Amino acid sequence: MWVYYSVYRVLMFVVPLVILLLLGIEGWLSTLIAAVIGLCLSYIFLRKPRESVSRELYEARRRPSPRGTRDEESGDAADERSHDN
13 C-beta neighbours (distance < 10 Å), count: 19
Flag whether pLDDT at 71 surpasses 60.
no
Domain that holds residue 29: 2-62
Predicted confidence at residue 57, as pLDDT, reads: 84
Q: pLDDT tens digits for 45-68?
A: 988 888 888 888 888 888 776 665
Residue 70 binned pLDDT confidence (cut-offs 50, 70, 90): low
pTM, full prediction: 0.63
In a domain, 17, yes or no: yes
Contacts of 29 (CB under 8 A, 6+ apart): 20
Answer yes or no: is 79 within a domain: no
Determine, yes or no, domain membership for 77.
no
7-39: pLDDT as tens digits: 999 999 999 999 999 999 999 999 999 999 999
Q: Do the domain assignments include residue 70?
A: no
Rounded-to-integer distance, Cα 30 and Cα 53, Å: 29
Number of domains in the chain: 1
